[in-house]
Amino acid sequence: MSLPDDPVLLDSYAAIRCPVKVQNHFDTSISSPVGGSMAGVRISSELQAERFASREFIDQMLDRLARVTGALDLRLLAGEDLAVIRDATRDAVGSGVPLIIAPQLPIDYAGHRWGSPSVLVRGADHAEGTPGYLPVHVKPKRMLERHSRAHQLAGSPLATPWHGERLEMTDARLRTGRENDQLQLAHFWRLLEAAGWQSAGEPVAGIIGKDTVRRTFFTEGERASEPALSLASGPGSSGTQMVAWVELSRKQIRTFSRTSSSGWTLRSPLERYDHEHTFRVNLARAARERAHGETGVGPMVRPIFVRECSSCQWWAVCAPILGSDDLSLRIDKSPLDVREVSVLRSLGIQSIHDLATTDLDALLPRYLPEVRHRDHADDRLLLAARRARMISSGVDLERTTRGAIGLPSSQIEIDWDIETSAADRIYLWGFWVAGSDDWQSGRYAWFGEFRDLDAEGEIRLAIQAMSWLTSMLAEHPHTRVYHYSDYEMVHLTKLVQVSKSPELRQALDLLRSAHVDLFTVIRKHFFGAHGLGLKTVAHAGAGFSWRDDSPGGLNSQSWFAEAAHGPDPRTRDDARQRVLDYNEDDVRATAALRAWLRAEHGDQHLDAVHRPAEIFE
């Protein structure tokens, strides 16, 4: 077969990521940027989290699969040329190896696709006796959610990862929001089809996430003795990872449909993938034609800000096209989706100013028929318009209630914040101890370990921190302990349940009567243009600023990694201090916020709080 000189080839991410990225990549008249300024742009927490923990988790799962009888681990050829690994994969498939780890699939030039799943698992053979395989991919995130309707999903424990020995799930389904992962599986299935290696029968693929399951039995009628799987979740639960089997031809992804009476329809992962993949192939072809001087061929898509823009090399190209007042860029809390923004643009609503000044009563009858794929689309637009008006007016917070805000106080007040690693272990407990009359003259106390902690080490550190807090509360029984959101209490509760520690139990019992969640107070009385996160509220209301230029819990995870594993003592010490400064600022911020609430809203209320500075300076 003759190969094209310059083929259009897309990987497994192309169909699920921004089409502008594909367009820019194949338009050779655009210089591919090395980087780009992200000033004023929010950072995607999901993308950052994947950077921290993905490789370690994937390797752990593949190591476990490598212990399955008959498995072939092609990671042993990692130093070889890809052609060598492709040949080894072809030989393994031809020999009917039951499980192939880290395969390299043949490139599908006709279908414009390339890529490989984490694993190939032997499925049903073809009628002529040739082996057939199922793609299985590892994802470092939770893939399942509990669901009352049984039999929505089937799976296989990693020790026996065979589709033919799958067990039904009694209480779980694929998590909402995991549609993109299903499209990736569809990409791998199409690659197997092109090679003639796919399993016979209905198209099925597997996915391994961070969920754990345990063997159980059905509890209904005649099926009471049939084995099954149930989700093992919650503190102290035991279980094993599983291969969750996804039926790729089952209509289970909700998409917009202009012809449907409901405005939406269900499509299968393969249907959805084929549509998105074909669209991007056409984008790539048009971009090449434009780059080669074809007249009348303009860009097929215009940028819309989405989460992946936060780490995209093309941001420096897209940002000037969007402009600083673009609707998708400026509304960062409960943002409108790509279709909602596209429909607004088609109706002449391009910017924050446009949405803030438009007549919504006149707009909604034209807008709603085009966004019926979203539940409560009218409420979503009204909320976005409210935020647009606030942003246009330079307002971050609006008071939604009247009268004084009652806030519990005590002579000694303690603010509390924890930091967790990418493995979700608490490595730092921070406290700010001050009098209610002068929060700034307090002192910072912390308990931390800047190294990788196991379960035992995490509990030991927690006991140290909570023993100190317990003694403080015993010595000053009327002390109030403040934090922002339930994050700290949830983690402490989990540690109590896992450890059965009497010291942690005593601290939790004391805190249940002594703690105050400032977030619940703020949420009751304020609306935020950019949400009600601590960074936003403390800055807009109390005028508090963090010392670090990029404060954030997920950023602090990378600082912790440097503090624990940096290449030299100077790097580790600097990262350690950066984490401590950030944690101290977090607890000082809640103290400053509380002081502002008492000073400005104890006896009166302000209708709005203006922002100290524009974010696009």
**In this model, does residue 39 exceed pLDDT 50?**
no
Angle, helix 534-542 to helix 569-601, in steps of 10 degrees: 50
Angle, helix 487-499 to helix 502-514, in steps of 10 degrees: 150
pLDDT-derived band of residue 7, with 50, 70 and 90 as boundaries?
A: confident
Please count the CA atoms within 13 angstroms of the CA of 464 that sit on its side-chain side: 16
Residue tagged 């400064």 (tokens): 581
pLDDT of residue 32: 67
Record the tokens describing residue 105, joined without a space. Answer: 């699939």
What CA–CA distance (Å, rounded) separates 537 from 243?
Answer: 42
Alpha carbon 480 to its chain centroid, in Å, reads 34
**In this model, does residue 238 exceed pLDDT 80?**
no
Helix (H) or strand (E) holding 590: helix 569-601
Residue tagged 């990788």 (tokens): 452
Residue tagged 């449907």 (tokens): 260
In the predicted model, what is the mean pLDDT of residues 531-560?
A: 90
pLDDT of residue 255: 86
Positive or negative torsion for Cα 446, 447, 448, 454 = negative
Alpha carbon 548 to its chain centroid, in Å, reads 23
CA geometry: angle at 404 spanning 399 and 409, to 5°? Answer: 115
Length of the chain (residues): 617
Percent of the chain scored above 90 by pLDDT?
66
pLDDT of residue 151: 55
What are the start-end ranges of the H helices in 253-376? 269-291, 315-322, 327-330, 338-346, 352-357, 360-367
In the predicted model, what is the mean pLDDT of residues 83-97?
A: 97
**In this model, does residue 406 exceed pLDDT 80?**
yes
β-pair partners for 417: 430
Please write the tens of the pLDDT for every residue from 93-142: 999 999 999 999 999 999 999 999 999 999 999 999 899 999 999 999 88
pLDDT of residue 596: 94
pLDDT of residue 242: 92
**In this model, does residue 34 exceed pLDDT 60?**
no
CA geometry: angle at 41 spanning 302 and 35, to 5°? Answer: 75
Say which range, 284-293, 364-373, 424-433, has the weakest mean pLDDT.
Answer: 284-293
Please, what's the b/e burial string for 253-271 (b: 16 or more CB within 10 A of its CB; e: otherwise)? bbbbeeeeeebbbebbbbb
Domain 412-610: give its CATH code: 3.30.420.10
CA geometry: angle at 120 spanning 115 and 124, to 5°? Answer: 125
**How confident is the prediction for the chain on average, in pLDDT?**
88
pLDDT of residue 508: 95
**In this model, does residue 612 exceed pLDDT 50?**
no
**In this model, does residue 45 exceed pLDDT 70?**
no
In the predicted model, what is the mean pLDDT of residues 437-446?
A: 92
What CA–CA distance (Å, rounded) separates 315 from 303?
Answer: 9
pLDDT of residue 150: 54
**In this model, does residue 434 exceed pLDDT 80?**
yes
In the predicted model, what is the mean pLDDT of residues 291-307?
A: 80
What CA–CA distance (Å, rounded) separates 597 from 252?
Answer: 47
Please write the tens of the pLDDT for every residue from 460-477: 999 999 999 999 999 998
Largest CA distance in the chain: 83
pLDDT-derived band of residue 4, with 50, 70 and 90 as boundaries?
A: low
**In this model, does residue 57 exceed pLDDT 80?**
yes
Output phi, psi for 71, to 5 deg.
Answer: -70, 145
pLDDT of residue 336: 94
**In this model, does residue 67 exceed pLDDT 70?**
yes
Protein fold of 302-393: DNA polymerase; domain 1 (1.10.150)
Pairing of strands 242-247, 119-122: unpaired
pLDDT-derived band of residue 571, with 50, 70 and 90 as boundaries?
A: very high
**In this model, does residue 38 exceed pLDDT 60?**
no
Positive or negative torsion for Cα 70, 73, 76, 80 = positive
CA distances (Å), 172 to each of 146, 155, 211, 245, in order? Answer: 4, 10, 11, 12
What CA–CA distance (Å, rounded) separates 130 from 95?
Answer: 9
In the predicted model, what is the mean pLDDT of residues 256-283?
A: 89
In the predicted model, what is the mean pLDDT of residues 191-209?
A: 96
Among 552, 543, 615, residue whose Cα is nearest residue 583 = 552
pLDDT-derived band of residue 295, with 50, 70 and 90 as boundaries?
A: low
The domains of the chain are located at 50-251, 302-393, 412-610
What CA–CA distance (Å, rounded) separates 425 from 452?
Answer: 9
Percent of the chain scored above 70 by pLDDT?
90
In the predicted model, what is the mean pLDDT of residues 587-598?
A: 95
Helix (H) or strand (E) holding 337: none
pLDDT-derived band of residue 82, with 50, 70 and 90 as boundaries?
A: very high
pLDDT of residue 30: 84
In the predicted model, what is the mean pLDDT of residues 370-379?
A: 90
Say which range, 34-48, 66-80, 265-279, 307-321, has the weakest mean pLDDT.
Answer: 34-48
Please count the CA atoms within 13 angstroms of the CA of 327 that sit on its side-chain side: 27
